[in-house]
Chains A and B, each alone.
Chain A
Amino acid sequence: MLAYVLRRIGAGLVLALLVTLVTFLMLSLSFGDVVRTLLGQSATPESVAAMTKQMGYDRPVLVQYGDWLLHLLRGDLGTSVYTSLPVGPSVVQRLAVTLSIIVPALLITVLLSISLGVWAATRGGVADRIAQGLSLVGYIVPGLLIAIVLVYLLAVRAKLLPATGYTPLSTDPAAWLHSITIPVIVLVIGGVANMAAQVRGRMIDELRRDYVRTLRTRGVSTTSIVVRHALRNAAGPALTVLSLEFIQMFGSALIIENVFALPGYGSYAFNASLQGDIPVIMGITVFGVLLVTVVNLGTDLANGWLNPKARLH
């Protein structure tokens, strides 16, 4: 078990290395522009050259990457070119904001998707058509539009919730809850639309399997067959969807944050990218990869726990 976890972590580190390397190589194409942006329109070729040397951009790209990596290993992500703030703490702070909408959204999505999916798969008929219809609507309407409509209805018209802004949980839990409510609803609508359909499909497949019939012939109750047996077997494949859903949600969150002016990962990445703030961009990349690694590892471990066959590998 430990060997398995260590191997997965190792794979995650290789992924981190590769993604950061590729990102660095691609970004290095734009280092010249970064310096010119930094110095402004009136910069002389001499000052550009001096600045390039000062930033270390004149060295071979791989040397620069190696240098960045060595610092990273010492826990140093460098400082922002523009604000001179250390990158590490800023990234963590921004990530916390984004995660504070993704994690609740994901939990609610899982609960609702399982309920809706199981309901549709075990009731059939009208219940199934309702669930299918809801999924379809959630799937075809872009999250961005749902976000804006909700802001308009709940914040602008009804004045129930703040339209924009973010209060940290540690400052004021009630205000935090208010500030994340609409973003979470938006993410949940998109998430449930996707996941409930998956749960439904898996449950229908499982309920048609031979072992379900055999359990029935032994007098096992319907509840036990649905919950203990079919749902448990459907959970494994659904978990894989969940980790993809997380990545998907992370992407949507970057856009949704913008609607609600949340100081999250998206706006941080966007501004850094706009300014060509290379140390910040690299810090964002590293944490993005680490997050994905952790989520995938968690999914695999949960899958191993659910599925006895997966434990062997």
Chain B
Amino acid sequence: MSTRTRTWRRLLRDPQAVVTAGILLVIVALGLLAPFLAQHGPNDSDLGMVNAPAGTPGYLLGADESGRDIFSRLLHSINTSAVSALIGTGVALAVGVTAGLVGGYFGARTRGATEWLFNLVMTFPGLLLLIILMPVTGGDYRFTMLIFGVLLSPGIYRIVRNLVLGVKNELYVDAARVSGLGNTRILGRHVLSVVRGPIIIATAFLMGAAIATQSGLAFLGVGSKEIPSFGDMISSGFRNLYLAPAQFLWPSLLLGLITASLVLLGNALRDTLEGSRPKPAKVGQGQRTDVRTGPAPVAGTAALLEIRDLTIAYPGPGGESREVVRGAALRIDRGQTLGLVGESGSGKTQTAFAVLGVLPAEAVITRGSIVFEGRELVGLTDGEMRPLRGKQIAYVPQEPMSNLDPSYKVGAQLVEGVRSALGVSKQEARTRVLALLGRCGIADPPRTFDSYPHQLSGGMAQRVLIAGAVASRPKLLIADEPTTALDVTVQAEILDLLRDLQAELGMAVLLVTHNFGVVADICDHIAVMSRGEIVETGDVQKVLNDPRHEYTRTLLDAILDDTTVRTDPPPGAITEGADR
């Protein structure tokens, strides 16, 4: 109840919603008061008044080609539009919601049937059908709008069906079923509350469509001449365009005002009920920074990567900025493996993205510096960052599937990366990629090369991504939870692969993980992150054996309490890894 009142309040504070709804209410009121406001009936024609100009006594806006009062016809046209909107939308909602509930809730066969039926309705040009059926409807606009409502129903059907399918899979409907509520009760109680918002939004657009269609048909001359409507008035004004352009103007303005108000009201409702959509950002801009002072020169550091005082902030909903990383400091030497550990949301991934310069567009680096091989990366443009990517710093993501472009074959994606980074020929890049796929444990490299991502397993896809990352022999590999999304058996293999590749290529690795087992297995150093801050760094063995910070201790205890938790290598591997 309280969320509902809050939604209403937000709507009432949105000027676009208030103004458009106000305009529509005033227009509807004018229509209802038409018999009292206009001195003449909409069809009273006075041949002495043909094309009378606006302002003629009794004819506020003048008279049309048949000597009928334009003001009166205008007001009565509002009622025709309102009735059209009510019938068209009412039928569309009744048919669409009912079928959507049925199609979404019951089994696949019922859904198949409704789906097929609505696709059929959707594929035929509705306006043509309405014209063709004129002998049946006799041109009565109410009958026509009834059919139009059916033609509009597929849109509603889809909305309702999708929402019902979503709700159906959620627990609470199962719970309701267990508690003995009948099917109809379940639908009525739970589903309707979810679909209400989207339906309210769609209604505004449907009304606009119904009114526009009714006007279009009346413009064509479908329908009785006795019914005053915008379409008919526009048609009459259009015939008279040379003599009296104003006759065309009035119905056009009012019709435009009504449809525009409905669309804008629909947009405002959508923004309020569904939240605003993501806004686009300029592509290829480089990382946004707000670092005023120039980077302090880093004198004589041997580090490959040195992060100092890095602070990353996101704008919050109220305009305030929310820091997700605060004053982080890290150091990786050549060939070293550093484990960055922390629970989800602690800022590990954000730190990794900042090094690559691929933070989301909203993120701002507000403080600090990232120095790679003596070069400051904070403040570089995308163009300046590009030569470093792939060749100097590479990246292995967490979720293998979503990180491959579904439309291109795996090989083509890797070849494009190698060519961008190294500028070699297509053939050379191909040879290199094939060799690497083999090196990364892919059984049949040419076949994988010619596969689409959806044809690969998760483990294979992760090997492909690792191959893609090391293809240009980077000096630093950033691996963001590279095993989390994989099966336990595959996890160990992937870690082995990373370890071997690191040794072979002599690259440094920044391994982002929440798993101490993984860290113990392959890292030399460790940095523990909590709530955006790095709380402890040091040698892996030292930190694991003698954690200084409270948070590190808590994390370690949590793992020791529950030994089965995500420890991919067998228990012996921890000591084995630490020994090397």
Contact = CB atoms under 8 A, between A and B. Distances in A.
Given A152-B241, A211-B404, A145 B389 contact: no
A33 B134 CA distance: 12
Interface stretch (A39-47, A52-60, A166-174, A249-257): A249-257
Contacts of B259: 140-142
Contacts of B389: 216-219
B124 A274 contact: no
Of B132, B395, B399, most buried by chain A (CB within 10 Å of CB) is: B132
Interface string B381-421: 01000111111011101010011111110000100111011
Contact of A204 (B134, B136, B231, B280): B280
A175 interface: no
B435 interface: no
B564 interface: no
A206 to B, nearest CB: 10
A156 B391 CA distance: 64
B285 to A, nearest CB: 9
A256 to B, nearest CB: 10
Interface stretch (A65-73, A177-185, A304-312): A304-312
B279 A128 contact: yes
A232 B409 CA distance: 13
B210 interface: no
Given A258-B220, A308-B407, A156 B241 contact: yes
B397 A210 contact: yes
Contacts of B264: 136, 140
A262 interface: no
B263 A139 contact: yes
A270 B219 contact: no
Interface stretch (B248-256, B438-446, B539-547): B248-256
B113 interface: no
A285 B131 CA distance: 11
B260 interface: yes
Contacts of A259: 238
B128 A288 contact: yes
Interface stretch (A21-29, A84-92, A106-114): A21-29
Contact of B136 (A30, A217, A292, A309): A30
B553 interface: no
A309 B406 CA distance: 8
B128 A124 contact: no
Contacts of B452: 308-309
A266 interface: yes
A211 B212 contact: no
B397 A214 contact: yes
B384 to A, nearest CB: 12
Contacts, number: 233
B278 to A, nearest CB: 6
Given A218-B420, A273-B132, A148 B234 contact: yes
A8 interface: no
Interface string A207-230: 111110111111111101110010
Interface string A129-146: 000000010011110110
Contacts of A188: none
Contact of A208 (B129, B135, B278, B417): B278
Interface string B472-511: 1000000000000000000000000000000000000000
Contacts of B238: 148, 259
A220 B391 CA distance: 11
A186 interface: no
Q: What is the predominant secondary structure among interface residues of chain B facing chain A?
A: helix
Interface string B33-54: 0000000000000000000000
Interface residues of B, number: 82
Interface residues of A, number: 82
Nearest to B397: A214
A269 interface: yes
A125 interface: yes
Contacts of B234: 144-145, 148
Interface in A248-291: 250-252, 254-255, 258-259, 265-266, 269-270, 273-274, 276, 281, 284-285, 288-289
B407 A27 contact: no
Contacts of A222: 283-284, 382
Contacts of A205: 278
B128 A251 contact: yes
B404 A255 contact: no
B188 interface: no
Contacts of B386: 219, 221
Given A124-B280, A214-B468, 7 more contacts: A140-B259, A217-B469, A220-B420, A224-B420, A229-B407, A247-B125, A289-B124
Interface of A: 15, 18-19, 23, 26-27, 29-30, 33-34, 120-125, 128, 136, 139-142, 144-145, 148, 151-152, 156, 200-201, 203-205, 207-211, 213-222, 224-226, 229, 232-233, 244, 247, 250-252, 254-255, 258-259, 265-266, 269-270, 273-274, 276, 281, 284-285, 288-289, 292-293, 296, 306-309
26 contacts: A23-B132, A122-B280, A123-B280, A140-B260, A140-B264, A141-B259, A142-B256, A148-B248, A201-B277, A204-B278, A204-B280, A205-B278, A213-B353, A217-B389, A217-B469, A218-B418, A219-B420, A247-B123, A250-B125, A251-B126, A270-B131, A273-B132, A288-B124, A292-B125, A307-B407, A308-B406
